[in-house]
Structure 1
Amino acid sequence: MKLLAHHELAGFGGLGEGMAMQLTSDGRRILWLAHESAPKNFSGVDVTDPTAPKLIVQTELPHMKLRSNSLDVVGNTLVVAYQASEVGIKPAGVDIFDVSIPETPRLLSHFDCSGPHSRGVHAVWFVDGKYIHMSSGAPDFQPRNPLDDQFYRIVDISDPTKPFEAGRWWYPGTREGDEAPPPARLPKQFDTGFRTHNTNVFPDRPDRAFVGYIDGGAVVLDISDMKDIKVVSQWNHSPPFNGFTHTVLPLFDRGLWIVSDECVQDNGADWPKLVWVVDARNEANPVPIGTFPAPSFEAFAKRGGRFGAHNLHENLPGPTSFRSDTIIVGSFFNAGVRVYDTSNPYQVQEIAYFVPGAPKLSPAGAIQLNDVYVDDRRIVYTVDRFTGGLYILEMNI
């Protein structure tokens, strides 16, 4: 992994899990980045020449109690998630922008998800130009436990000026009034909630949603009828592990899922947080068959900040995205970005990595690489959770 460029984004870090690339009508490549913390909302970086990235726009959040942790782009339509620091705060939901002129994003509409028990939207998935799949609260949803406030929602934006809800599903027993009993919770130290994180739907199987349901594990849903969503399968390793299923990446041709946890505690306190290989040839009975080789606990756990798995490059179906059924790229906080060959799913091999030094003024005292995106040129983009900004890498494998 060769470092091609590093951009500090005018000193505004705090980058979240939103990375998406737009191919403009004049042939430019714009990398859109969501900021995990105020005051900035999202940034656009021209990476047409990956060795010379140029910041072309950086927008402001309405106030300091919001974060725009996630975004996606299809064509000239950008969708951005807004999550508040407390329930009841507005705005909370999704903004839809026209970015046909990337330097001047134009707001088309806002889909409101605020409410007395809602913090809004944590993560969005938008790849087909029609539906936003997201982890969201709602004004009419009261969780039995406040940690369970975000569930799976589908929003139709066929007309981006008039978004509307097309479907929803939540983990049985997590909403007030459910007939199902509340789910058994992890020990308080590790209880991070039965709520959605990534909600991935691919053109290969538009009738399936692959959902990381945090402490609820990996959940696959039949969404062929969005008004009547049904569970296809569930797989959960917690307990005995410590929860927070983040991403479920299906490898359709191979009948596999790659499932990543998220480390959410510093200094290895919730270790191990792993990336799993799950045999899903029989989708009703998924079976774990291995894990990715983990970075050394001794080398990284006490280095500073979080240590463990987080997100994966998710084989996005757009024209600028790298896609592979064997090569998987993931972000691991202070253990950097790592590349794996899964040709033998029973014996995954690490084949490349990049771990930069500690950024200036980082409160973690170490790098905290939060997310990763790989384009069709095999250029790798990764961002720091705090102050490190954007790193652009050449992947030679």
Structure 2
Amino acid sequence: MSQDLPTPDYARNLKLVGHSDQGGRSDGVQLMINKGYAITGHMFSKGFSVIDVRDPRRPNPVAYVPAPPNTWNIHLQSFGDLLLVINAKDMFASAEFQDERNYYTGALGEKVGTASNASATRDWTAGMAVYDIADPSRPRQIGFMPVAGGGIHRIWYVGGRWAYVSALLDGFTDYIFMTVDLSDPTNPREGGRVWLPGMNTAAGETPTWPPERRFGLHHATVSGTTAYGAWRDAGLVVIDVADPTAPTLKLHHNWSPPFNGGTHNCLHLPARDLLVVADEAVLDDYEDGFKPIWLFDVRDPMKPISISTCPEPNDADYRRKGGHFGPHNIYENRPDGFVSDQRLFATQQNAGIRVYDIGNAFRPEEIAAFVPPQPARLMDHRPNRSRVIQSCDVSVDKDGLVYANDYNGGLYILEMTA
């Protein structure tokens, strides 16, 4: 671990205080902070790592847990003494997805072979693993929920009995919504499920959308008794989870077309009757066009009204920088971390990390930014990848420290200076 900090390409009101290459596994996807430890899933290094960040100026990798063969652990959730880790087919190691356009277009279940219940070979592990992290430096697996299909993609869990996941299951065209009962963490089990009509091919349903569209759930976040689902090219799906054993579809609202789809995650701000929704940029060189971070007025939950978008970064020509330019993830106001309905933290991939003041919901303003330098090396093994920063996830702890990772560049720890 070097004490020399990388020099950012651009910084405003965010100061770099610590950096880690995560024990040589500098690729990171989802990032959690738990009891002074950063836990990150890897895209290409097969598994997840734990970094001791109790001294944020000297982050120290302390654990690495490998994934099962042909399986990725890119997404995870921690709360209290539990860590939940997805297990799914390692899509980006598969020949059919070396061109990422193939992953982001069309029915994923048909390409993986799960939509017809007839995949030729199941050489991956599919489901959700549960770890005891009373000591986060020593994750200990205590449970596993298998699923029949491609696996789990992403999870929402903030304690208690229920987790909420996106699952690629046999007989469905793409990822659907599922609740998971964790009353016994050693034996997690399905509670209920919701999908958009047309996705359940095993029941004879037929998609009504164009075949090139990805109508699949990325994931949902839960606020009260409502789950807000980002359903990729299908936009926003609102689900009643008052009874998690019988979730019910309340609303499907799509703005693509005319906008460009890829809806990735949602953040409800209940005190202000606002919903923040990010559309993910998924292709290089701005090929998939403008992807906004939206603010919706949800005073009438059945009639969300878009009232503004966050400004695109304009301090450099990011459209021509290479890689993806546009939103990936927004920090989701985790109750064990920083919670605000005035500030929004987002990753903009080759444009780094951005912080927005949304005090005036009709006119969000960028108030801070940090663009890491070019990664030292490519962890991304897919062909024709650009060696540019691709800031992936951002998390903020209770003290306001900002943690961000990248597909290639490691873990950055930042503090706001204004």
Relative to the length of structure 1, the TM-score reads 0.89
**What one-letter code is carried by the residue in structure 2 that aligns with 1:91?**
T
In structure 1, distance between residues paired with 2:205 and 2:88? 28
Q: SS of the counterpart of 2:23?
A: helix
Looking at structure 2, the residues matched to 303 and 98 of structure 1 have their Cα atoms a distance apart, in angstroms, of 42
Q: Tell me the equivalent position of 2:366.
A: 350
Aligned match of 2:163: 132
The 3 A distance-change label for structure 1 pair 158 and 227 is closer
- Residue matched to 1:26: none
Q: Does 1:267 align with 2:285?
A: yes
What's 2:87 paired with? 82
Range moving further from structure 2, 373-382 or 97-106 = 97-106
The equivalent of 2:221 in structure 1 is 200
Matching residue's letter, 2:22: L
Unaligned runs of 5+ in 2: 1-13, 92-111, 114-121, 379-384
* Matching of residue 222 in structure 1 with residue 256 in structure 2: no
Find 1:372's aligned residue among 394, 399, 403.
394
Worse-superposed segment, 263-272 or 360-369: 360-369
RCO comparison, higher one (Cα < 8 Å, 6+): 2
Q: After the TM superposition, which of the residue ranges 308-317 and 7-16 deviates more from structure 2?
A: 7-16
Q: Does residue 10 of structure 1 match 2:31?
A: no
AA at the equivalent of 1:150: Y
2:317 match: secondary structure = helix
Encode CA deviations 1:156-207: one digit per residue, 9 max, x unaligned.
1111111111111011111115576523237x3xx3x1111121113xx1x1
Aligned match of 2:72: 67
Please identify, of 336-345 and 363-372, the stretch whose mean Cα deviation from structure 2 is larger. Answer: 363-372
1:396 deviation in Å?
2.3
Task: Give the superposition deviation at 1:265.
Answer: 0.3
Contact 1:97 1:107 in 2 (8 A): yes
State the secondary structure of the residue aligned to 1:240. Answer: coil
Decide which of 29, 36, 44 is 1:37's aligned counterpart.
44
Deviation at 1:314, TM superposition (A): 0.3
TM-superposed CA distance for 1:89, in Å, is: 3.4
Whole-angstrom CA distance in 2 between matches of 1:226 and 1:361: 44
> Which one of 268, 271, 293 corresponds to residue 311 of structure 2?
293
Bigger CA drift: 84-93 or 351-360?
Answer: 84-93
**Alpha-carbon offset, residue 290 of structure 1:** 1.0
CA gap of 1:132–1:104, structure 2 versus 1, over 3 A, is same
1:9 aligns to what SS in structure 2?
A: coil
User: Superposition RMSD on alpha carbons, in Å?
Assistant: 1.7
Measure the CA separation in 1 of the matches of 2:388 and 2:192.
41
Report if the CA contact (8 A) 1:89-1:119 is conserved.
Answer: no
Alpha-carbon separation, structure 1, partners of 2:272 and 2:136 = 38
How many equivalent residue pairs? 370
Letter in structure 2 aligned against 1:36: M
Alpha-carbon distance in structure 2 between the residues aligned to 1:9 and 1:265:
26
Spell out the pairing of 1:133-172 with structure 2 (5 A cutoff).
133-138=164-169, 141-143=170-172, 148-172=173-197
* 1:371 partner amino acid: D
1:238-281 CA-to-partner distances (Å, cap 9, x unmatched) read 00112111111111011110000111100100110110011110
1:177, 1:332 → 2: CA distance? Answer: 38
Structure 2 letter corresponding to 1:246: H
Q: Distance in 2 between the 1:103 and 1:328 partners?
A: 30
Specify every segment of 5 or more residues in structure 1 that has no aligned partner in the other structure, as ranges.
24-28
Write the letter of the residue equivalent to 1:4: V
Which amino acid in 2 is paired with 1:301? R
- Per the TM alignment, residue 376 of structure 1 is displaced from its structure 2 partner at its CA by 1.0
Identify which range, 174-183 or 246-255, moves more after superposition: 174-183
Deviation at 1:37, TM superposition (A): 2.3
TM-superposed deviation, 1:125: 1.0
Q: Distance in 2 between matches of 1:142 and 1:231?
A: 19
Q: Is 1:383 aligned to 2:396, yes or no?
A: no
Q: Give 1:43's aligned amino acid.
A: S
Q: Is the partner of 2:271 in helix, strand or coil?
A: helix
Instruction: Tell me if structure 2 keeps the 8 A contact 1:46–1:56.
Output: yes
Show the counterpart of 2:200.
175
Letter in 2 for 1:44: V
Q: What SS class does the counterpart of residue 286 from structure 2 fall into?
A: coil
Whichever residue aligns with residue 32 of structure 2, its letter is A
Match of 2:269 among 237, 242, 251: 251
2:174 touches 2:217 (CA, 8 Å); kept in 1?
no
Distance 1:48 1:290, change over 3 A: same
Instruction: Flag the 1:295–1:178 CA change in 2: closer, same or farther, 3 A.
Output: farther
Cα distance between partner residues in 1 of 2:123 and 2:210: 27
Relative to structure 1, the CA distance from residue 97 to residue 293 in structure 2 (aligned partners, 3 Å threshold; closer, same or farther) is same
| Distance in 2, Cα, partners of 1:229 & 1:131 | 12
CA distance in structure 1 between the partners assigned to 2:315 and 2:338 by the alignment: 30
- The residue number in structure 1 matching 2:417 is 396
Question: Matched residues in 2 for 1:133 and 1:37: separation?
Answer: 25
The answer as to whether partners of 1:82 and 1:120 remain within 8 angstroms in 2 is yes
User: Equivalent residue for 1:21?
Assistant: 33
Is residue 5–residue 51 contact of structure 1 (8 Å, CA) maintained in 2?
Answer: yes
TM-score, scaled to structure 2: 0.85
Matched, 1:326 2:342: yes
Equivalent-residue separation in structure 2 for 1:381 and 1:30 (angstroms): 11
- Give CA-to-partner distance per residue, 1:46-73, whole Å, 9 cap, x none: 111111111111111122x211111111
Number of the residue aligned with 1:112: 146
> What residue identity is the alignment partner of 1:51?
R
Q: Which residue of 2 aligns with 1:341?
A: 357
CA distance in 1, matches of 2:256, 2:289: 13
Deviation at 1:102, TM superposition (A): 2.5
